C-alpha cells in the first residue's frame, strides 16, 4: 500500500482535495483553523511526499527522500505571511526609554546614549559583521548572540515565519499590572508556596493586584486570591501544588535516580536595589554574587525556582519530564502510538524513548532562533529591571516618563520602598537580566516547545502516580492527596512554572512568558508536521491539547 500523493511531482503544488482532507482530519473548517494567528491549514498541512509503506529500492528511496525534503521546502516557501508587528514604543519615545538598551553606554539617569543606540540599530538593520563590531558597550559584558536572529531553520517553520502579538505598550495599564506582579513576586520570594493562603504579604499582594484594571493572570470571581496568584492560565495550572510534579519527583537516569534537590540562595538574597547597582547593571555590570544555601533543597518557593532557572541547561526540565514519563510504562504513552497494539514489535527510534528524547531536545534550539528573531529584530522590549528604574526616577522626580499611575500609586512599590529604600525592582540575580531584549521569553519558549512535544508523545489523561509536594523547608517530599494530577495538566503547569519563575526572578513580564510559550508551541507543531511524514508505521497522527485548551491532530495522511 502506498500513501496518496497530494503534491504534483513536477510542480510541487498542493491539491484542493488534499487541503480539505487535512482540515477534515483536524475536525476544523478553513475559517476556524487558526494557530497563533496563522491558519492551521497553512501551519499544519502535511507535506505530500509521505514515506512508502512497503520496502523500496535504493534509487526509489533516494527519490522519495528528495520529495519529502522538497515538499517541506515548498510548504515553507509558500507559507502565507502573517508578520509580527512591534508596539511602536521605539518610535514613540525618541529617547529610547521604552526600548531595550542594556549593555550600551547610559547617562546617570539610566537613559541610553543615543549615538550608541543608533549604531546598535544600524547593526541590526544591516546585519554586517563590521557594524556589530562597532557597537559601543557600556562595560565589559557582551550582547547575547544578536546574530542568532538571522539564523535559518531546516526543520519546521523558519525563525521568521511564526507571528506573535505585539507586547503591551510602555504607558499601558497592562504593563503596569505586570510590573505590579513582578514587584510582589520579588517581595514574596521566600514564602513557601504551601503557605500562600495564610501569609499576610501574599494576601496583601493579592488584594493590591486585584486593583489593577488590566491584570491578565487567573482570577476567582474577578479577584486575585492566594490560591491563584502567580499561576499560569492553561488547563491544569490551578490544580494541585504550585510546582509541577515534573520539577519535584525523582528522575530515573539509566542506572541511577536523581532526586530533584537543587542549590538555592539564602533568604533575602536580592540585588540591584540601590541606584548605583542598578545603573551599573544597565551599563552591563554585576553587583556581587549570589549567597548560596549550603543545603540543596526541593523547590518550595519562588527564590528556589528563580535560582533553578538561572543555571538550568537548555530544556533541562523537558528532558527530565521525558525520562520520568517513560518510566511510567505503556499506559502513559499516547493512544496513537502504533506499538501499543503490536504483539511482536516495540518502538524505539520511532515511537519510543529514543524519539521522545530526540524531539524534546531538538525543538528548543529551533525555537530559540524564532525567539531571537522576535527579540532583536522586531520588539526590543526593555527588561523589567530597567522599567523599575524608570518608575524610581519618575516617583523621585528625576524624570517624567508618562508611566501609568496604576503602578505609581500601587501598594507594590510602596512595599518595595519600605523594604529597600528605593522603588527599584529587587532582582534575584546579581547581574539582573540577560543581555538580550525581553520579549518573548526564551525560557518560556523552550518550555512551550518541549511540553508540546511531550503532550504529542504521551497520554495527557494519564494520572501521575504517588504525587508529592515539597516540605516548607525544602528538605523532603510529602504525599499530595488532593485532586488527581494528569500528565497534560502537569505539563502545562511545568511550562507555567518555567515562565513565571523567570518573572519571579525579575527578568521577564507575564506577557513575555505567554508569548514565549505560544511561540514554542507553534514551532513544535510545525516540527511535528514535518516529522509525521517520515514514518513507515501506519499511525493516525499526533494528537494533543494546545495551551489554549483546544485539541489538534497532526495527521500524516488524510
Would you put residue 506 in left (φ > 0), alpha (ψ -120 to 50) or beta? left
Give me the pLDDT at residue 55, please: 64
Residue extents of the structural domains in the chain: 1-82, 89-146, 173-531
DSSP for 15-68, please give it. Answer: PHHHHHHHHHHHT--TTT-EETTEEHHHHHPPPS-PPPSS---HHHHHHHHHHH
Answer for the pair 223, 476: CB distance below 8 angstroms, yes or no: no
Q: How high is the pLDDT of residue 557?
A: 56
> From CA 540, how far away is CA 488, in angstroms rounded?
20
Res 556: pLDDT: 65
Is the Cβ–Cβ distance between 267 and 123 less than 8 Å? no
Looking at residue 78, what is its pLDDT? Answer: 84
3-state secondary structure of 505: helix
**What is the CATH number assigned to the segment(s) 173-531?**
1.10.606.10
Predicted pLDDT at 75: 81
pLDDT in tens, the chain (558 residues): 333 333 344 444 433 433 333 333 333 333 323 333 333 444 344 444 444 456 678 788 889 889 988 988 888 788 787 889 999 999 999 999 999 999 999 999 999 999 999 999 999 999 999 999 999 999 999 999 999 999 999 899 999 999 999 999 999 999 999 999 999 999 999 999 999 999 999 999 999 999 999 999 999 999 999 999 999 999 999 999 999 999 999 999 999 999 999 999 999 999 999 999 999 999 999 999 999 999 999 999 999 999 999 999 999 999 999 999 999 999 999 999 999 999 999 999 999 999 999 999 999 999 999 999 999 999 999 999 999 999 999 999 999 999 999 999 999 999 999 999 999 999 999 999 999 999 999 999 999 999 999 999 999 999 999 999 999 999 999 999 999 999 999 999 999 999 999 999 999 999 999 999 999 999 999 999 999 989 999 889 999 999 999 999 998 654
Cα-flanking dihedrals φ and ψ of residue 65, to 5°? -60, -40
What per-residue confidence (pLDDT) applies to 16? 40
Report whether 416 contacts 186 (CB < 8 A): yes
Q: Please state the pTM of the whole predicted model.
A: 0.91
Count of other CB atoms within 10 angstroms of residue 136: 13
Amino acid at each position: 500500500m502506498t500513501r496518496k500523493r497530494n503534491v504534483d511531482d513536477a510542480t510541487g503544488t498542493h491539491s484542493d482535495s488534499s487541503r480539505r482532507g487535512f482540515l477534515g482530519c483536524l475536525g476544523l473548517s478553513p475559517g476556524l483553523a487558526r494557530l497563533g494567528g496563522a491558519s492551521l491549514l497553512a501551519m499544519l498541512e502535511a507535506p505530500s511526499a509521505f514515506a512508502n509503506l512497503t520496502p523500496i529500492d535504493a534509487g526509489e528511496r533516494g527519490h522519495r527522500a528528495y520529495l519529502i525534503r522538497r515538499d517541506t521546502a515548498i510548504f515553507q516557501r509558500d507559507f502565507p505571511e502573517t508578520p509580527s508587528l512591534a508596539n511602536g514604543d521605539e518610535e514613540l519615545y525618541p529617547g529610547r526609554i521604552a526600548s531595550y538598551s542594556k549593555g550600551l553606554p547610559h547617562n546617570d539617569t539610566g537613559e541610553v546614549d543615543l549615538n550608541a543606540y543608533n549604531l546598535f540599530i544600524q547593526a541590526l538593520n544591516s546585519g554586517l559583521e563590521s557594524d556589530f563590531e562597532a557597537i559601543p558597550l557600556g562595560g565589559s559584558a557582551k550582547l547575547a548572540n544578536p546574530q542568532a536572529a538571522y539564523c535559518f531553520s531546516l526543520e519546521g517553520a523558519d525563525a521568521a515565519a511564526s507571528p506573535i502579538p505585539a507586547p503591551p505598550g510602555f504607558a499601558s495599564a497592562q504593563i503596569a499590572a505586570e510590573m505590579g506582579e513582578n514587584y510582589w513576586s520579588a517581595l514574596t520570594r521566600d514564602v513557601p508556596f504551601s503557605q500562600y493562603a495564610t501569609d499576610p504579604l501574599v494576601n496583601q499582594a493579592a488584594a493590591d493586584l486585584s486593583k489593577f484594571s488590566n491584570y491578565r493572570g487567573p482570577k476567582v470571581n474577578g479577584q486575585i486570591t492566594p490560591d491563584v496568584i502567580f499561576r499560569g492560565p492553561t488547563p491544569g495550572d490551578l490544580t494541585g501544588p504550585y510546582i509541577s510534579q515534573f520539577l519535584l519527583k525523582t528522575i530515573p537516569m539509566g542506572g541511577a535516580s536523581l532526586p530533584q534537590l537543587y542549590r538555592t540562595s539564602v533568604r533575602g538574597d536580592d540585588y540591584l536595589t540601590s541606584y548605583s547597582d542598578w545603573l551599573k547593571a544597565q551599563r552591563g555590570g554585576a553587583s556581587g554574587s549570589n549567597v548560596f544555601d549550603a543545603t540543596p533543597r526541593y523547590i518550595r518557593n519562588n527564590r528556589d525556582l528563580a535560582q533553578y532557572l538561572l543555571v538550568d541547561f537548555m530544556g533541562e526540565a523537558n528532558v527530565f519530564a521525558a525520562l520520568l514519563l517513560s518510566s511510567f510504562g505503556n499506559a502513559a504513552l499516547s493512544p496513537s502510538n502504533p506499538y501499543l497494539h503490536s504483539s511482536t514489535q516495540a518502538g524505539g527510534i520511532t515511537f519510543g524513548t529514543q524519539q521522545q528524547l530526540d524531539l524534546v531536545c531538538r525543538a528548543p534550539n529551533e525555537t530559540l532562533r524564532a525567539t531571537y528573531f522576535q527579540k532583536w529584530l522586531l520588539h526590543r522590549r526593555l527588561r523589567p529591571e530597567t522599567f523599575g528604574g524608570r518608575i524610581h526616577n519618575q516617583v523621585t522626580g528625576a524624570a517624567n516618563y508618562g508611566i501609568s499611575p496604576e503602578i505609581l500609586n500601587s501598594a507594590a512599590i510602596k512595599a518595595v520602598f519600605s523594604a529597600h529604600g528605593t522603588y527599584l525592582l529587587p532582582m534575584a540575580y546579581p547581574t539582573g537580566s540577560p543581555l538580550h531584549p525581553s520579549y518573548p521569553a526564551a525560557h518560556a519558549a523552550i518550555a512551550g516547545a518541549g511540553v508540546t512535544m511531550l503532550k504529542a508523545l504521551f497520554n495527557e489523561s494519564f494520572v501521575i502516580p504517588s504525587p508529592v509536594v515539597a516540605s516548607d523547608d525544602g528538605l523532603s517530599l510529602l504525599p499530595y492527596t488532593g485532586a488527581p494530577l494528569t500528565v497534560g495538566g502537569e505539563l502545562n503547569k511545568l511550562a507555567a512554572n518555567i515562565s513565571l519563575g523567570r518573572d519571579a526572578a525579575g527578568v521577564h513580564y507575564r506577557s513575555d512568558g505567554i508569548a514565549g510559550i505560544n511561540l514554542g508551541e507553534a514551532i513544535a507543531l510545525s516540527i511535528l508536521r514535518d516529522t509525521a511524514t517520515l514514518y513507515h508505521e501506519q499511525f493516525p497522527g499526533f494528537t494533543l491539547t494546545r495551551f489554549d485548551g483546544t485539541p489538534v491532530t497532526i495527521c500524516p495522511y488524510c
